[in-house]
Amino acid sequence: MARRALEGPEPLEGRTGSELPATLAPRSGNGGGSSEDSADHEGAQTAAPRVAVHATILRVLVTTLGDALLDVVVRLDEPLAVGADAGAVTKSGAGGQAANVAAWAVALGAEGRCIAKQGDDAAGRLVAAELESRGVELVGPAGGRNGIVVSLVGKDGERTMASDRGVAPELAPGDLDPVWLACDCLHIAGYSLLASPIDAAAFRAAELARLNGATVSVDLSAWTRIREFGPARFRRQVELLEPDVVFANEAEWEIVGAAYGLAPTAVVKRGSRGVLVLGEKRLELPALPGEVVDATGAGDALAAGFLVGGPELAVEAAAQCVARLGAQP
């Protein structure tokens, strides 16, 4: 968890609002230790949207590594039928787990940087422009075809995704500038551990971030991709990364074999039932009431909230996300 102070609503039980939970400190107290896995756009950040949550969050830098995709969200008025024409409401813009977490971090009052390989096509330029407008510093090589993800959203807000990651998995260790890893927290999309050379880039990024005293977190991402990759093989990838915090939904949690042993702190995303945090203490927080328009990106908003301000901010950010169409604030 980023080194920050959170002030505002009632503190979590057992700590004041300005304390950093000990379970979220880096594995190595001096910032080094693990062998495996800056925002300059201040002008853009002043114009970026902010989500009204807590009164004061000291500015920290959350760096993410993974995908910066073109996100096409299709909210269906009725179920699809082969050969038929179904009504829908659509929205397109920047997406991808790494991009989403960085954008939400900025919206919640932090600084956000996203490390990703981007396409040099129209989709890539659109994504880069939108992230910049949101105050996110997008860094990494550009070339080839940008990834696109299509999310089909039903009336209940649940989504089904079709993902084309484009050039994103081609990010290599040699593409990294150590300056990008001067941050408070490095958040790695689990998709980055499912392909090469981006997995090696993730491990190298974690090394560099820890040299700067940062914590490292990972979101296990899609259980279907983990199943295809091999759960035991994927778990080994996470173990090599040695994260301080692991995020997972319940399906991902189960398929990897209960992720608690993978990190000092585990955050289980339970949808409408809220969040479960396992560390030195067990903490359950319910989801906040409200209409669910679109669940796309809710887990990313939750992760950003947790890294910036802890569990309370996590559930608030998730509630903000599901109340609108699209994955970004």
Instruction: Walk along the chain (329 residues) and give the pLDDT tens digit of each residue.
Output: 443 323 333 333 333 333 333 335 555 443 333 333 333 333 333 334 444 444 445 679 999 999 999 999 898 888 888 988 989 999 899 999 999 999 999 999 999 999 999 999 999 999 999 999 999 999 999 999 999 999 898 877 777 889 899 999 999 999 999 999 999 999 999 999 999 999 999 999 999 999 999 999 999 988 999 999 999 999 999 999 999 999 999 999 999 987 568 899 999 999 889 999 999 899 999 999 988 888 888 999 999 999 999 999 999 999 999 998 888 99
Report how far apart, in Å, the C-alpha atoms of 236 and of each of 7, 97, 174 are. 38, 21, 23
Q: How far apart are CA 197 and CA 53, in angstroms?
A: 38
Question: For 171-204, b where at least 16 C-beta lie within 10 A, e where not — what string?
Answer: bebebbeeebbbbbbbbbbbbbbbeebbbbbbbb
Q: Could you give the CA distance from residue 153 to residue 150 in angstroms, rounded to a whole number? A: 10
The pLDDT value recorded for residue 24 is 52
Which of helix, strand or coil describes residue 184? Answer: coil
Q: What is the pLDDT of residue 26?
A: 58
> For residue 123, how many C-alpha atoms fall within 13 Å in the half-sphere facing its CB?
23
The number of domains in the chain is 1
Is residue 187 a part of any domain in this protein?
yes
Dihedral over alpha carbons 289, 222, 3, 139 (to 10 degrees): -120
Q: Are 265 and 278 in contact (CB under 8 A)?
A: yes
- Domain of 20 in residue numbering reads as 6-322
7 alpha-carbon distance from chain centroid: 23
Predicted pLDDT of residue 221: 83
Domain-located, residue 285? yes
- Mention every residue, 6+ apart, whose C-beta is less than 8 A from residue 11: 17, 19
Measured in degrees and rounded to the nearest 5, phi and psi for residue 228 equal: -65, -40
pLDDT at 49: 44
Residue 44 lies in a domain: yes
**Do 255 and 242 form a contact (C-beta atoms < 8 A)?**
no
Question: DSSP labels for 33-63?
Answer: --S------HHHHHHS------SEE---EEE
End-to-end CA distance of the chain: 21
Instruction: State the Cα–Cα distance between residues 276 and 227, nearest whole angstrom.
Output: 23
Our CA dihedral for 127, 133, 134, 135, rounded to 10 degrees, sits at: 110
CA angle 142, 92, 328 (to 5 degrees): 85
- Model pLDDT, residue 78: 87
The pLDDT value recorded for residue 42 is 34
Residue 14: C-alpha distances to residues 8, 18, 21, 82, 304 (Å): 16, 12, 10, 55, 22
| Whole-model pTM over 0.85 | no
Residue 328 belongs to a domain: no
Q: What's the pLDDT at 197?
A: 98
Q: Which residues of 282-316 are buried (b: 16+ CB within 10 A; e: fewer)?
A: ebebebeeeebbbbbbbbbbbbbbbbbbbbbbbbb
Measured CA to CA, the distance from residue 170 to residue 150 in angstroms comes to: 21
Q: The domain spanning residue 306 has which CATH number?
A: 3.40.1190.20
Q: Which helix (H) or strand (E) element contains residue 228?
A: helix 223-229
| Residue 155 domain-assigned (yes or no) | yes
Residue 1 falls within a domain, yes or no?
no
The stretches of 81-219 forming alpha helices (DSSP H) are 97-107, 122-133, 198-211
Q: Establish if 327 belongs to a structural domain.
A: no
Q: Pull the structure tokens for residue 272.
A: 């409408």
Residue 329 inside a domain? The answer is no
